[in-house]
């Protein structure tokens, strides 16, 4: 599976990539050399709207030209020929990129609202920021949006 670094102008797209299961670092920095070094060292594709950076480093940088988040994602999917992996959906924290851990109900009791605890059975938690995820209605909406991104030309 591809791994990415997104720069400051693609932060929202980066969160969507994580929801799709892609290992995606967010780098809001002007230190381009550092960005390139990490990309090359860790085998990460750097996604940027910085034309100059992309043109001078075509081995590791992909230029994203769209301005709107969903269009940016379409462009990323198209330029890199990404395919949708259902198994990897929602397996990564959208905030900090860590791989989520499955939790039994009792373990997350203090981290979720009462009504969620009483109505849901499957939970996962980010080992870094402790955010708890569950299979709610919002997931269905996100999943539909992702499926649409991959299916439309
Ligand atoms: Zn997290």
* pLDDT tens track for 69-80: 999 999 999 999
Q: Is the pLDDT of residue 20 over 90?
A: yes
Å from CA of 93 to ligand 1 middle: 5
Q: What is the pTM of this model?
A: 0.92
Q: Of 88, 110, 143, which residue is a domain's last? A: 88
* Interatomic CA distance for residues 115 and 9, integer angstroms: 37
Domain that holds residue 141: 101-151
Å from CA of 57 to ligand 1 middle: 31
Å from CA of 96 to ligand 1 middle: 4
Q: Look at residue 96 and tell me if it is in a domain.
A: no
Q: Which residues surround ligand 1, an ion (CB under 5 A)?
A: 93, 95-96, 126, 128-129, 131
Q: Is the pLDDT of residue 101 over 70?
A: yes
Which pLDDT value is given to residue 153?
63
Q: Is 48 exposed, middle or buried (0-12, 13-18, 19+ CB in 10 A)?
A: buried
């Amino acid at each position: 599976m591809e791994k990415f670094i997104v720069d400051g102008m693609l932060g929202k797209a980066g969160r969507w990539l994580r929801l799709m299961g892609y290992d995606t670092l967010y780098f809001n920095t002007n230190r381009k050399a550092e960005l390139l070094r990490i990309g090359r060292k860790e085998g990460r594709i750097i996604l940027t709207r910085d034309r100059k950076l992309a043109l001078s480093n075509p081995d590791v940088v992909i230029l994203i030209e769209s301005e709107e988040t969903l269009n940016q994602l379409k462009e990323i999917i198209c330029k890199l020929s990404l395919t949708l992996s259902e198994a990897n959906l929602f397996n990564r924290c959208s905030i900090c990129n860590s791989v989520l851990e499955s939790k039994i109900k009792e373990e997350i009791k203090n981290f979720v609202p009462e009504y969620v605890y009483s109505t849901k059975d499957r939970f996962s938690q980010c080992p870094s920021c402790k955010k708890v995820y569950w299979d709610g209605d919002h997931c269905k909406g996100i999943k539909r949006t992702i499926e649409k991104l991959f299916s439309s030309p």
